[in-house]
Amino acid sequence: MVKIYLDPGHGGSDTGAVGQGLQEKHVTLAIALKIRNILNNSYQGHQIRMSRSTDSTVSLTARTNDANQWGADYFVSIHINAGGGAGYEDYIYSGLSNQGTTGKYRQIMHEEIIK
């Protein structure tokens, strides 16, 4: 059973980026809820926990503590890039190697999402 932790960036009093009539916190939540629905409706063998499933304020420390206490195997934090640029990016913790498990998972996810 793989434990997947979905973290919609920002929320509540933290709007994240604002522009084009949108607030990042709403877009990240919509994406996370969609991911949860796809995983739950089309796949088995996993559990999902979310840092928030409503427009609520959750500190970064509370998010990571919750994921660690739950024993998450995979932590995905969703953000919308608003600093210019275009396309899709994914990052892993800077202390990890691209050749490690997390780096390999990142590469798989990147290729699938780009499709």
Residues that bind Zn ion (CB under 5 A): 9, 16, 79
Q: Minimum distance from CB of 52 to Zn ion (Å)?
A: 13
At 112, list the tokens: 């699938």
Residue number with CB closer to Zn ion (61 or 99): 61
Residue number with CB closer to Zn ion (9 or 11): 9
Calpha distance 72→52 (Å, rounded): 15
Residue number with CB closer to Zn ion (47 or 77): 77
Residue number with CB closer to Zn ion (8 or 72): 8
**Residues 1 and 47: beta-carbon distance below 8 Å:** yes
Calpha distance 89→43 (Å, rounded): 25
Q: Minimum distance from CB of 91 to Zn ion (Å)?
A: 12
Q: Minimum distance from CB of 59 to Zn ion (Å)?
A: 14
Calpha distance 89→23 (Å, rounded): 19
- In the block, tokens 């434990």 appear at 3
Q: Minimum distance from CB of 79 to Zn ion (Å)?
A: 3
